[in-house]
Structure 1
Amino acid sequence: MSVPALYPCEIVHVRGRPVRHTLRHRTFLWFVDVDHLPRLPLPLRLLVRFDPRDHFAGTAPTLREGLARLLDAQGVRLGDGRVRMLAHARVLGHVFNPLTLYWCTPADGSGERVVAEVHNTYSERHCYVLRPEDSGAARVAKEFYVSPFFPVDGHYRMRLPEPDGRLDLTVHLERDGTRPFTATVRGHRRAATAPRVLGAMLRHPWSTLAVSAAIRLHGIRLLLRGLPVLPRPRHRVQKGLE
């Protein structure tokens, strides 16, 4: 299936305990081959940019090299294997990607990997390197402070199939036999033509700033509902992101 592509989508966060709360946000995401990033008409290049500094350690000259450094630290040799990425693009100098996904086929023959790169609102990053089951699901220990209302414990159960005509992602937080938090991303594929890109930008101007603002606004609402803020542990830079 051809790339690049757009996925107009709805992101939903459902918090089940200790209080019930739902966040819904409409936006659009890009699905790209990291070796063949979009080449758009000059005016649109000001609105769409993928910068290696926004991902991984932020020091690699390309997205592929940043990913390769991370995987190498995990004992996986990416080589010239295929890599597809789902993310927000930088818009007028701003980007915030709570979750960037990379579907990888390492050249070492070790099997498919999905890398879930998580950014929190404290400018910290962490990557989960997953080997999904046939269903596209994987379970991994939570190792990174994201929400100020949840401690760094429990596990994530992630179902992250590579998008085709449809985008359908689910992330559950599992703690003490319960699922207090679930995030879903649902959308449908659109060709990344210049008119469609422009239309998406007009419908969702400052798309990445809106994501960041929505997260902070809902955090304030939860705080006003009495949820205590948990201390943020000292962030340890992950191997491969130094």
Structure 2
Amino acid sequence: MNTPARPRVKRVLLKLSGEAFQPRNGGQGIDPDVLASLAAQLQELRDRGAEIAIVVGGGNIFRGLKGVDSGVDRTAGDHMGMLATVINSLALQAALEKRDIPTRTMTAISMPAVAEPFIRRRAMRHLEKGRVVIFGAGTGNPYFTTDSAAALRATEIRADLLMKGTKVDGIYDKDPMENSDAVRYESVTYDEALKKQLRVMDAAAFSLCMDNEIPIVVFNFFKKNEMVRVFESEPVGTLVHQ
């Protein structure tokens, strides 16, 4: 099958896991150097004309399923994880504003003293005005991952592309961290991703993007300038398409 051309895009939804924020030594918390690097990359993306929305995870602080292992009720654990994503969102907002990038954090759980509530039309207006919009607290519901939140928000704001930043350079047929013979896909269809159970995103997120024809590019967030290359439609990472 011929590899499809990468889509030309303007409005993007960037999905970052909480692990992207944690110190390089593998500890918990937020690494200020990582935040500064991310803010610099986002500034370059914005300077190239991108309208940028971001969904962040909270695994560097607390993960709901980990709470279950410690005896925390799943619903309570997931709500704790949502609050962790808000901490990451506010930290990223502060890093962007240090670079004079206008930024708004919007949350799915109402906390008006901290951030704006998510209102779709308001979010789209922020993007039209050149503001970076960070979506915190996932979907606001337990049992849904931040990948599902990213797919949902990308659909709601009519994003041209969902950019999924990971620690590997695309989707593989098996875990490349554990298998030296793992093969990277240059592109896969949504159907193939679901049938092969390629777990870089959960099935609900893939299905939502498939239903709304939002392409996904999975790329190595830690590789310098990779985010900009994805925006410029260069053939990096793995494209998931219709």
Return the structure number with greater helix share.
2
TM-score (norm 2): 0.30
TM-score (norm 1): 0.30
